[in-house]
Amino acid sequence: MSRKYFGTDGVRGRVGKPPITPDFAMRLGYAAGKVLASDRSVLQPGQHPTVLIGKDTRISCYMLESALTAGLTAAGVHVNLTGPLPTPAIAYLTRALRLQAGVVISASHNPFEDNGIKFFSGSGQKLPDATEAAIEAQLESELITAPSKELGRARRIEDAQARYIEFCKSSFPFDKDLRGLRIVVDCANGATYHVAPHVFHELGAEVVTIGAEPNGLNINLDCGATHTATLSSAVRKHRADFGIALDGDGDRLMMADRDGRIFDGDQLVYVIARHRVETGYMKGGVAGTLMTNLGMEHALTRLGLPFGRAKVGDRYVLELLQDKGWQLGGETSGHILCLDKHTTGDGIISALQVMHALKDSGATLAEYSRDLTLYPQVLINVPVAKRIDLAAASPVIEAEEKAKAEMGDEGRIVLRPSGTEPLIRVMVESASESQARKWAEHIAESVKIAAAA
């Protein structure tokens, strides 16, 4: 389904350029209010539909929050404001408070110059494509302000942070704690800065917090899940047992062991899966994406678990899990879904599931994931100024055919446009790193040629 504004994770772009402008945000708020709150059968007579708005720590969030609030209230929708709070917290609170929808203002792992707007349904799940298409269709309609007596109101939820902290803690076994562990927590100067440290501290860990001084401009800057060298260094400096790195909106997770070695989303999902198999708690198989390492698939097979690949994006991992009736899935980038714990990916809760496995086993991250041997992957992002039909680009087709002929069953190629940035992502995976690099560079050059044509 072709969509003009919505990508794989809501509407996203550079602040001040369409669509991330206050004018568009107001119209989007109005359109979303009309679509998401259209089912009044769940409301009492005279009751207004209500939408929750959360945000990360970017300076532009204030502007967009005000514009969204104006649009939603103009549509006759009440607005509850949480202030800075992780994306998964908004998903949880929307469901817990029985609201009609949740909105998050965030560009996740992107730099502060970018921002985005994404939505959750009343059930705490990301919107299906059809609903996003309906919102886009509503954007074409005139913004007609509701009569004054039917306008929405806005108010702040004062205990949102505390509610979410308790929810995270409830995902960890009540008869276990983190006493005796020193953990470095990197909050990426983002939305988890006043949440994540409390969760791990209240469960008994000694917490060393970094990346928790947001100033509106430093979100994801040389820290967090996309810049793990900072975590690795801090773990070694403080002689910590583990390191936890989150991204700007708190839905991604990377971890480090005491040596500073970084473990990505594939490895962490494997740890959770292995623990669930060993404890008899595993339900079904594991969902990954086109980018999930081939070594992960082989390791899960040895555990006796089926594996399925979805399109890149945690929303598509979620759809595959729901279709299969499974509970566990994730992406190499660190989006991990444990549907028995939450309706969406949650970096804090995912970290707690890993800690549960290691506490039970007494093993280190390296020891517990030893049976997972990752194939070398080379990823090259190719900037493009226009949309390219990769399936019809002859230079790309020719390069792919040559690569497949040489690598055979020992390699994979994934070409895909980014859902959030003007890039074509070229990924080549092979048992040989030099072979993977050679073909990734060759295919990337072919994409550049096609883009220039």
Nearest to 126 by CA among 425, 354, 419: 419
Nearest to 344 by CA among 120, 65, 31, 137: 120
The question of whether 108 is a catalytic residue gets the answer yes
At 323, list the tokens.
Answer: 């279709």
DSSP state of 8: B
Q: Phi-psi category of 249—alpha, beta or left, where left has phi over 0 and alpha has psi -120 to 50?
A: alpha
> Would strands 253-256 and 307-310 be described as parallel, antiparallel, or unpaired?
unpaired
Rounded distance, CA 413 to CA 204, Å?
44
Query: Rounded to 10 degrees, what is the CA torsion of 354, 355, 358, 360?
Result: -110
Find out whether 232 and 254 touch, Cβ atoms under 8 Å.
no
**236 three-class SS:** helix
Q: Which helix (H) or strand (E) holds 54?
A: strand 50-55
Number of helices (H), then strands (E), belonging to the chain: the values are 14, 18
Rounded distance, CA 101 to CA 50, Å?
7
* Burial class of residue 159 in the structure, from the number of CB atoms within 10 Å of its CB (0-12 exposed, 13-18 middle, 19+ buried): exposed
Rounded distance, CA 232 to CA 412, Å?
29
Residue found under tokens 């030099």: 434
The beta strands (E) that lie in 160-215 are given as 182-186, 206-210
Out of 108, 333, 369, 430, which one is annotated catalytic?
A: 108
Rounded distance, CA 147 to CA 159, Å?
32
Nearest to 323 by CA among 333, 311, 332: 311
At 195, list the tokens.
Answer: 């949440």
At 304, list the tokens.
Answer: 């006796």
Length of the chain, in residues:
453
Question: What is the set of active-site residues?
Answer: 108
